[in-house]
Amino acid sequence: EPEVTQTPSHQVTQMGQEVILRCVPISNHLYFYWYRQILGQKVEFLVSFYNNEISEKSEIFDDQFSVERPDGSNFTLKIRSTKLEDSAMYFCASITGTSNEQFFGPGTRLTVL
């Protein structure tokens, strides 16, 4: 069964460093999302992406964040200068465009020291 994959599973970085989190959505999916979950808190929406552009972003998604679909398969989330409070689990999700069911990746745990 097709699935959303994410790499790396765990990333440790120093404050101020840039990180790129990678996602490979299911191949025929058209809508892509990033969410994050700070430890002990609920999952929060970051950004949605369709037709090679951002369709919606949350207040969390400030100028330090960017998303890109550099080729036909990868969907990346970049944090330019990480802060301690960026430490969280980051989930990628995708949907087909004919169904509302979102398929979630396994997540990347980001630890900022």
Partner 1 sequence: KNEVEQSPQNLTAQEGEFITINCSYSVGISALHWLQQHPGGGIVSLFMLSSGKKKHGRLIATINIQEKHSSLHITASHPRDSAVYICAVMKTSYDKVIFGPGTSLSVIP
Out of 20, 26, 69, 104, name the contact with partner 1 by CB under 8 A. Answer: 104
Question: Percentages helix, strand, coil for the chain, rounded to the nearest 5?
Answer: 5, 50, 50
Backbone torsions φ then ψ of 19, nearest 5 degrees: -130, 150
Residue showing tokens 């058209």: 30
**Binding map of partner 1 across residues 50-69, x = CB under 8 A, - = no contact:** x-----x-------------
- Asked if 33 interacts with partner 1 (CB under 8 A), we say yes
Q: How far is the CB of 42 from partner 1 (least distance, A)?
A: 5
Task: Give residues in contact with partner 1 (CB under 8 A).
Answer: 31, 33, 35, 37, 42-45, 48, 50, 56, 89, 91, 93, 95, 97, 99-104, 106-107, 109
